Structure 1
Amino acid sequence: MMLPAYPSSPEAAKRFLAFVNASPTPFHAVHNASARLEASGFKKIREVDDWEKTLQPQGKYFFTRNQSSLVAFTLPPNWKQGAGLSIVATHVDSPNLKVRPISKREQIGYLQVGVETYGGGVWHSWLDRDLSLAGRVVVTKQDGTFHSKLIKVDRPLLRIPSLAIHLDRNINDSFKFNQETEFVPILGLISETLNKPSNDGENGKASRSANVTAASIQGNHHPALLSVIADELSVAPEEIHDFELSLYDTQPSVLGGINNEFIFSPRMDNLLSSFSAVDAISTYVSSPNFSVLEGNVNCIALFNHEEVGSVSTSGAESSLIPSLLQRLSPTPILHSRSVAQSFLISADMGHAVHPNYTSKHEDNHKPVMNGGIVIKTNAKQRYASDAIGSFMVKKLVERKGGRVQEYEVRNDMACGSTVGPMLSKIGLRTVDVGGAMLSMHSIRETAGSHDVQNSIDLFTSFFEGFAELDKTLTVD
């Protein structure tokens, strides 16, 4: 599909469009981030490797875990064990619908696909959208081994139709639906069996044959669905052994507004921050500053599962950051020194004031899109920002001539959270920031097209200037 050229629009926003359109799942986001890093000279290492034989001052490295999280870091020219880390932490997951392990469903002639909700989505926004499938699939290779391959079906396959107003006259007054029984996507029609009873048991639930092996999934999903997956991957259906698939909206992300000041897109919470982190560190290593700047190890961390609590092997509460700290500073003394010199920017999108719902914001804390980086504060520590972190961000933004905004939730509303508080428990100084956006967790969100560059500028300033700035501040 040809996308608009946007000749007079921010270049960073246009680069982001390409990234988000190619990244319908965390697996794709990590894959595309890895490609960008490798193109910028980063060397991929593995957690099972002996890093002591690999890491060198002025080196550029990254590793992934479970195809769904990524850590990249650069070592300064004077690097020694015990150095601090300057970390930008984001997440690559977003609320979506995931295909169930047994997805095969039928109802009155319709092929349906069972799904599970993931995260806190604005689920009504998924109705009447052109949906497709993306994720990863375990397949057999020609040599008999197995491989996890990415898949992205680039055409509408599924839809969750809403109910016509004629059948629910109160739909505009009190719209509610059951997420289990009234939120099941349709895949197609069983036209040849419209007048025949289903052989799959009550309500079309899949039955498993006694001769199906434990490694076979053929009885769990519609043959038509497996056929689509097999065709996309150029394998036979029986060579598919398992998968993790999510639904995504096939409508591309675009710039919009009278002056292209907006981005209309899915998954901007939090791929906008993730893209900006990757872009910043990739661009930074090609600048003259990279070969001369001393100080901290610069690092980005893209986590999975933030939308469901971060408790996983690839989430922020995993061993990813503690392990990195330990491997770069392996003795207790060096490790303690490294933590004390480190600083973490937790970058996650924030809430712009809504013109139709201005009362949802505290009177003096109403961030706007394209108004600059938002510093997020919460006295109950749902955000990890404090005066020290806020000061640091303001000075770093000031280096690039940018602006900052403040956000704090109303006392009569609950506050969301980020990866910041949980990572601060390691002992890292932490601040929570983000770009302002509308319709967070909708299938189509709205953000400012200039805020991509605003985020990149902050992260670049952080990589370039944090160590020197930190020397000027006395706290303890």
Structure 2
Amino acid sequence: MASIRLHFLLSKPPPAAVLPSCFFSSLFPSAFNASLRRHRLARSFSAARRLFCSKSDPPLQSDSRVGEAAPSIVGDLLDYLNESWTQFHATGESSNSSILLAIICSYVLIPLISFSIAFSPLAEAKRQLIAAGFRLLNENDEWDLQPGGRYFFTRNMSCLVAFAVGEDYKVGSGFHVIAAHTDSPCLKLKPRSASSKSGYLMVNVQTYGSGLWHTWFDRDLSVAGRVILKHNSGSFIHKLVKVRKPLLRVPTLAIHLDRTVNTEGFKPNLETQLVPLLSTKVDEAETKSEDKTKASSSKNIHHPLLLQVLSEELACDVSEIMGMELNVCDTQPSCLGGGNNEFIFSGRLDNLASSYCALRSLIDSCQSPIDLADEQAIRMIALFDNEEVGSNSLQGAGAPTMFQAMRRIVDCLSQERMTEDSFERTLRSSFLVSADMAHGLHPNFPDKYEEHHRPQLQKGVVIKHNANQRYATSGLTAFLFTEVANLHDLPVQIRETVVLAIFCNNLQIGYFVFVITGILDIYVWLWWERTRMALWNSDHSLALVVGKSMLGILPTYFLATKDFPSMKNDMGCGSTIGPILASGVGIRTVDCGIPQLSMHSVREICGKEDVDIAYKLFTAFFRSFSDIDKKLIVDF
């Protein structure tokens, strides 16, 4: 998503050796000096030995295990990550300066891993879709859709839906969808971020999602996101911003002042101790900008020094900054690593790796005129925001975005052929692949994994199962998705997360949880049922309400640990957008993901081969699922 190359201007980068993405900024945290660059180039490493995976490098070779030889997308993924510091950069608008930078970056940047915020991946996705011939739609306008057409729209600069209509589309044909999310756990600036302690200027932050927050200490951090600016005409515009230089840091306490940290663990207070440093004194820039900030709505909310840095990055006056939505981001670039360069080291792999594979698979599965010629279905990707905090937002999977888009697309394509059950038949014929990263086997903690379900890196995409529907995979959907993989000789792995109640492991704890949650359940149901029934019929008795509320005890008893499924019955796991979309849209769903280590750390790791396998599998899904689904004669 963040390969910010304009494909419609430059078909491919020049073959000459390319400098790393930090070349154009002497302030970039990992900038190479001239002598180091000359030394690095003089060593003439082969492509397999290069630390950074760039478009200028020779194409990475695919493993023969994954079927047909195809160019690796890992280099593009690195570019995508390095440019996508936020979800906004992934799907949002780009300024004129961004277009110029895009031309430059098509020669010098590492494609995938640069995304820092959810906005970033969407901006890059938008650029790539337009370059591939997709037409941007406005949800406020009437849509004119035609078979064979390719379209997309965005919401909040952090949610994107793109689709390609088969040339042979018929009323009732289904959607073949790959859905992922663009957000990652991070630190976000508080609405009032300015504070000071002991002579330091501090930036107050709030945690977003369930991150491994101790990994954010002692990292070279900066900010990225979007800023609201007041235009000369009196109107307001927004711009994406990304400060590449290290701007912030959260220092740890020296071992001499905390001798127990290695024995009792590092347990920072997230409110008082996870606060980044900005400066030790008031800089001249802050003094000069003090008068300008009087006209700004950000006065006394954010440090004038921070506003000055942002204004320089945006080439505007401090007084023009009306508001902002900024993430704290790690400035270390994404790269390849390991003895054989077989790993991807990066932040935000969860879940930009899945998002990028979905994006590329849609674009590449319909780039040729014949790709959609015999297709009856509609190929779609949906990239959502806010998955890490529950998906309940306008731009999250909990909103009816995909359902409304599907209905609107069917209405536009059906026209006079539309019948009362056209959309319902479409949903019954549809299939969703929910792509989110999976836990790979950690060699130092093998006891944390169920003995017979241990996904490994470099062994393919993981199909996720959970008896309590934390994942939406069923036996049927897993079979269909596996058939796609088998048809193209692509490896897949199985991860099962089966959960029983706590009392299966400890009867006393289980009984305690049962009693407490049962009482709370009765209380809540009493209040809710009494209030609801009072609105319907004042004749309902309290006994009936109590009787109905007792029904809440049984599910509470069995689902006491519903938030803690994992690879073992006595541990917990997360969930994803799969169950939300499966129940909200009413669509057959399989949950899958690329295995990784260090999930939700500021720096994560996954296998290079798995990224290519996921891309090939998603592309194969778009190209062959229609034929596979026709062979299914069971009642689903």
Which TM-score band (shorter chain)? over 0.9
Shift of 1:287: 3.1
Deviations 1:273-293 (A, max 9, x none): 000011111111213542323
Indicate the larger mover: 177-186 or 139-148. Answer: 139-148
Deviations 1:354-391 (A, max 9, x none): 00001111111011111011000000100000111111
Which amino acid in 2 is paired with 1:421? Answer: P
Alignment equivalent of 1:18, drawn from 64, 76, 79: 79
Q: Identify unmatched segments of 5+ residues in structure 2.
A: 1-21, 24-50, 62-71, 89-119, 285-292, 412-418, 497-566
Q: Secondary structure of 2:421's partner?
A: helix
Structure label with greater radius of gyration = 2
Question: Which residue of structure 2 lines up, in the alignment, with residue 357 of structure 1?
Answer: 445
- Structure 2 distance, partners of 1:443, 1:420, is 25
CA distance 1:400–1:142, shift in 2 (3 Å): farther
CA distance 1:241–1:80, shift in 2 (3 Å): farther
Q: Is the 8 Å Cα contact of residues 339 and 427 (structure 1) preserved in structure 2? A: yes
- Structure 1 distance, partners of 2:342, 2:577, is 28
- Structure 2 distance, partners of 1:273, 1:342, is 20
Deviations 1:442-462 (A, max 9, x none): 000000011111111111111
Deviations 1:132-169 (A, max 9, x none): 01000010223221111100111100000000000000
Q: Is the 8 Å Cα contact of residues 397 and 581 (structure 2) preserved in structure 1? A: yes
- Structure 1 distance, partners of 2:631, 2:305, is 64
TM-score by length of 2: 0.70
Q: How does 1:144-163 map to 2 (within 5 A)?
A: 144-163=234-253
1:337 aligns with 2:425: yes
- Structure 1 distance, partners of 2:632, 2:370, is 22
CA distance 1:89–1:112, shift in 2 (3 Å): same
- Structure 2 distance, partners of 1:247, 1:241, is 19
Q: How does 1:245-256 map to 2 (within 5 A)?
A: 245-256=326-337
Which amino acid in 2 is paired with 1:71? Answer: V
Q: How does 1:23-422 map to 2 (within 5 A)?
A: 23-27=84-88, 28-51=120-143, 54-174=144-264, 175-190=266-281, 216-287=297-368, 289-330=370-411, 332-408=420-496, 409-422=567-580
Which amino acid in 1 is paired with 2:123? Answer: H
TM-score by length of 1: 0.93
- Structure 2 distance, partners of 1:382, 1:84, is 25
Ranked by relative contact order (alpha carbons within 8 Å, sequence separation 6 or more), the top structure is: 1
Q: Identify unmatched segments of 5+ residues in structure 1.
A: 194-210
Q: Is the 8 Å Cα contact of residues 289 and 464 (structure 1) preserved in structure 2? A: no
The number of residue pairs the alignment matches comes to: 457
- Structure 2 distance, partners of 1:247, 1:332, is 49
Indicate the larger mover: 279-288 or 411-420. Answer: 279-288
Question: Which residue of structure 2 lines up, in the alignment, with residue 423 of structure 1?
Answer: 581
Overall identity of the aligned pairs, in %: 46
Q: Secondary structure of 1:290's partner?
A: coil
Q: Secondary structure of 2:371's partner?
A: helix
- Structure 1 distance, partners of 2:391, 2:125, is 20
Shift of 1:81: 4.2
Which amino acid in 2 is paired with 1:34? Answer: K
Shift of 1:191: 5.9
Deviations 1:255-304 (A, max 9, x none): 00111110000000000000001111111121354232322100000000
- Structure 2 distance, partners of 1:284, 1:149, is 32
Which amino acid in 1 is paired with 2:85? Answer: P
Q: Is the 8 Å Cα contact of residues 270 and 348 (structure 1) preserved in structure 2? A: yes
Q: Is the 8 Å Cα contact of residues 101 and 220 (structure 1) preserved in structure 2? A: yes
Question: Which residue of structure 2 lines up, in the alignment, with residue 465 of structure 1?
Answer: 624
Indicate the larger mover: 140-149 or 318-327. Answer: 140-149
Which amino acid in 2 is paired with 1:130? Answer: D
- Structure 1 distance, partners of 2:199, 2:152, is 49
* Structure with the largest fraction of helix: 2
Q: Secondary structure of 2:602's partner?
A: coil
Q: Is the 8 Å Cα contact of residues 40 and 285 (structure 1) preserved in structure 2? A: no
* Structure with the largest fraction of strand: 1
- Structure 2 distance, partners of 1:154, 1:189, is 20
- Structure 2 distance, partners of 1:121, 1:259, is 29
Q: Is the 8 Å Cα contact of residues 145 and 409 (structure 2) preserved in structure 1? A: no
- Structure 2 distance, partners of 1:366, 1:451, is 15
Which amino acid in 1 is paired with 2:341? Answer: N
- Structure 2 distance, partners of 1:45, 1:262, is 38
Shift of 1:332: 4.5
